[in-house]
Amino acid sequence: MKAVLQRVSEARVSIHNEEVASIKQGLLILIGIVANDTPDDIKWLSNKIVNCRIFPDDAQVMNNSILQNQGDIIVVSQFTLHANTKKGHRPSYIAAAKPEIAIPIYEAFIKQLESDLGKPVQTGAFGADMQVQLINDGPVTLIIDTEHK
């Protein structure tokens, strides 16, 4: 699994001009799934995200996690995170898991994240053509890949 974490002051996701998710302070997470992702990857990544100290403390130093900050999360599936751009000019997405494999992993990741965060997580719709708007706070953007855990 590969996740792009973006610390946001606000974010929203729309599908066909209808808003399906909206948060103020928190994280917008783009998540890419490969076929060999495991339940251990799900647990590891969720734990890493909720405990990642990328929010400012009272001294404006990045010492707080989203748990301490009590922020919200939006998760958006994004198979293009696993694009291979090595050859030619058209990316290959062959590494990304097919929907029949990816959807159960995506849903399990969301459930784990909600459990670790202690509250509901908002989402886009898996495989939908979504419009994502955000104000990246900082900007702070991290890439976390379970392949490198």
How do the domains of the chain map onto residue ranges?
Answer: 2-148
Q: Other CB atoms closer than 10 Å to residue 42's CB: what's the count?
A: 21
Neighbouring residues of 147: CB distance < 8 A, sequence distance ≥ 6? 2
Catalytic position from the list 55, 79, 109, 126: 79
Does 69 score more than 90 pLDDT? Answer: yes
Q: Assign a CATH topology to domain 2-148.
A: D-tyrosyl-trna(Tyr) Deacylase; Chain: A; (3.50.80)
Is position 38 annotated as part of the catalytic site? no
| pTM of the shown model | 0.95
* Element at 24 (helix H, strand E): none
Does 142 score more than 90 pLDDT? Answer: yes
Q: Other CB atoms closer than 10 Å to residue 127's CB: what's the count?
A: 12
pLDDT of 26: 98
Catalytic position from the list 38, 68, 80, 133: 80
Mean pLDDT of 110-117: 98
Q: Comparing C-alpha atoms, which of 133, 134, 146 is closest to residue 7?
A: 134
Catalytic position from the list 6, 55, 78, 126: 78
Handedness of CA 20, 15, 80, 34 (dihedral sign): positive
Is position 78 annotated as part of the catalytic site? yes
**Predicted confidence (pLDDT) per residue in 11-61, tens digit:** 999 999 999 999 999 999 999 999 999 999 999 999 999 999 999 999 999
pLDDT of 149: 87
Does 135 score more than 90 pLDDT? Answer: yes
pLDDT of 17: 95
pLDDT of 16: 96
H runs (alpha helix) in 52-146: 66-69, 99-117
Is position 80 annotated as part of the catalytic site? yes
Using pLDDT thresholds of 50, 70 and 90, give the confidence band for residue 143.
Answer: very high
The structure tokens listed for 80 are 């293009």
DSSP symbol at 91:
-
